[in-house]
Chain A
Amino acid sequence: MDETGTRQLRVLIVEDHDDLRELLTQFLTMAGYEVRQARCADTALEMATSWPFDVALIDIGLPRKDGIQLMRELREQRSVVAVALTGYGMESHVRACRDAGFAAHLLKPVEAETLLEVLHRLRAA
C-alpha cells in the first residue's frame, strides 16, 4: 500500500535483454510500482500462475516464443491486461498486437512519461 492507502500496481516486465529489464524495473519501482520480471515467455507463463499482476509489459521480440504468442497463452490462463513494447511500428504489427489482445502498443524508445500515463490509464480502467 502507498501513502494514500492505494495498493501499488503490480507490473510484470517481460524483456530478454538483461540490462534493459533491470533498467525498466528500476524505473517503475522508483515510480511506485510493484515490479517483477521475466526474461522469456516460459518464465512469464510460470510466474503468471503464482503472481496476480495487474499489467504485463511485454517486449514483442522475445527469443523462441515471441510476445504475441506469449499474450495468446497468457489469455488462455486468465484475463490479462498487457502493453506491447516493441521496436516495430508498422500498421500490420500494431494490428497483430491488437488482435492478440494487447491494450496498448508502445514503440521503442517510448517517452517515460507516456509509459507511466498508459499504466495509469490502465489502472483507472
Chain B
Amino acid sequence: MVDLSIRRPRGAVEERFLSKVVLSLFVTGHTPSSERAMVNLRRICDNRINGHCEIRVFDVLENPRQAEEMRILATPTLIREAPQPPRRVIGDLSDMEKVFQALSLHELQSSEATRNAHG
C-alpha cells in the first residue's frame, strides 16, 4: 500500500480530488507488462492524482482467491475501488488519458481555477 504526497510547482493550476482514490492493480508475476503497469500507475498517481491516492498491488499467482473474487479476466487490470462505483481498465496503463477516462477519474477532480471562477 502506498500513499503519495506531491508538491505542485508554484503557479500551476491545482487540481484536487474530491475524495480519496483507492486503486487496486492485479498483475501476473513480474512479466514486462506487469512491471510497465506498476511504473505507469506510479506515474499516474505522481503526476495526476496529487497524493490523494492509495495503491494496492495484487499478484494473481500469489492471490488466486482474491483474483477470483474480483472476477479478474485479464492482467494487468486496474480497479478504482473508491470512490464507488468501481471502474476497471485492462492493460499496461501506458495511455494515461485513456486510463483516466476508463476509470472516470476526471469526474472526481475539481480544479482550483474552476473554484476561483465560481468565487
Q: Which residues in A have some Cβ–Cβ distance to B below 8 Å?
A: 17, 19-20, 23-24, 26-27, 30, 85, 87, 108-113, 115
Tally chain B residues at the interface, Cβ within 8 Å: 22
> Complex: how many Å from CA A17 to CA B74?
14
A-B pairs with beta carbons under 8 A, tally: 55
> Complex: how many Å from CA A115 to CA B75?
10
Of A30, A109, A113, the residue contacting B77 (CB under 8 A) is A109
Q: Decide if the interface of chain A is mainly helix, strand, loop or mixed.
A: helix
> Complex: how many Å from CA A23 to CA B86?
12
CB atoms of A30 and B33 under 8 A apart: no
CB atoms of A111 and B73 under 8 A apart: no
- Besides A20-B71, A110-B73, 13 new A-B residue pairs in contact (Cβ under 8 A), listed by A number: A20-B73, A24-B74, A26-B102, A27-B89, A85-B73, A108-B72, A108-B74, A109-B73, A111-B31, A111-B75, A112-B90, A113-B31, A115-B74
